[in-house]
Amino acid sequence: MLENHRTRLLIARKVPTAVANRAETEFHAFVTESDMDSWSVVDFCKKHEVPAILIGKKSGLQAEHIAALPSTVKIIANASAGFDHMDVAAARERGIVVTNAPDALTECTADFSMLLVLAACRRASEYERIMRNGWGKSFGMTEMLGTRVNGKTLGIVGFGRIGRAVAKRAQGFGMRVIYTDISRAPASLENGATFYASLDEMLPHCQVLTLHVPGGGVPLMTKKEFQRLPKGAVFVNAARGGLVDEDALYEALTSGHLFSAGLDVYRNEPNVDQRFAELDNVFLTPHMASATMETRDQMGFTALDNVAAVLDGRAALNPVSS
């Protein structure tokens, strides 16, 4: 039974058992059995006056929800790197700390990005379907050929934690790494990668392109950007679906301008544009870059670490400033 005077945290999304157990022990948390929606979160906070909330995409809090929260709420914690499902500025205006978990999913997301690169280059989805359909036909020297990864130039858009982790993995496969970001990284972090001051300048040099920047309202990759990639390039996105004009991507894939794509994120999740599912040269996954037991536990623990810090009167470990 919920004890109002002891409950210090509402966990509004389903979390791994280890995270739920720690939250219940440390914060006497109320842990939902299924993801709550935004207004249910607001109603719970009003009724039980909890000082902390751990939310997810379904329970994302926009300005109208934040305005309705009681003054007891001190922190809104996100167990993910992204925070595009909430209005950070509105929370800050009310003096509510917003946190995320930027480090917890770096390594697994980088691993998964390389999986997408390899799968897209080596026609993994086609080979797998052939085997599931019983194979039955040997392939000759000129049939079903992919494109090699070793020796290719990988362009990285966004050279933050994940971008740099992808660069290290790509270099292990013998790829040349180039990147673009708002500003050049310190030389100590480049590890041999070459900086380009703009996306337009970098694109013609990218035999493989991967995105590692936050999502936004305006697509980063439109018809113009895809056309600037060299013919036969491979496109990978494990960042945010909103970064891509999907009509332009579909055209680039069906026209033969792109060799293939590896996609983990989409503009209208979870209702992916079915045109991509019909293309042989696309490797598709359902937004699973961070989906390992170890990473999902760490994401939750990072959120709880931030809650503990704020409720103890200390600075948040991973505050979101914008």
Contacts of 293 (CB under 8 A, 6+ apart): 16
Q: Between β-strands 30-31 and 52-55, what pairing exists: parallel, antiparallel or unpaired?
A: unpaired
Q: Which of 128, 269, 294, 314 is catalytic?
A: 269
Token pair belonging to 34: 């299924």
240 is catalytic: yes
Give the per-residue SS3 of the chain.
CCCCCCCCEEECCCCCHHHHHHHHHHHCCEECCCCCCHHHHHHHHHHHCCCEEEECCCCCCCHHHHHHCCCCCCEEEECCCCCCCCCHHHHHHCCCEEECCCCCCHHHHHHHHHHHHHHHHCCHHHHHHHHHCCCCCCCCCCCCCCCCCCCCEEEEECCCHHHHHHHHHHHHCCCEEEEECCCCCCHHHHCCCEEECCHHHHHHHCCEEEECCCCCCCCCECHHHHHHCCCCEEEEECCCHHHECHHHHHHHHHCCCEEEEEECCCCCCCCCCHHHHCCCCEEECCCCCCCCHHHHHHHHHHHHHHHHHHHCCCCCCCECCC
Is position 269 annotated as part of the catalytic site? yes
Beta bridge partners of 262: 236, 283
Determine which one of 8, 240, 267, 296 is catalytic: 240
> Quick count: other Cβ atoms within 10 Å of Cβ 25?
9
Is 148 catalytic? The answer is no
Query: Active-site residues: which are they?
Result: 240, 269, 287
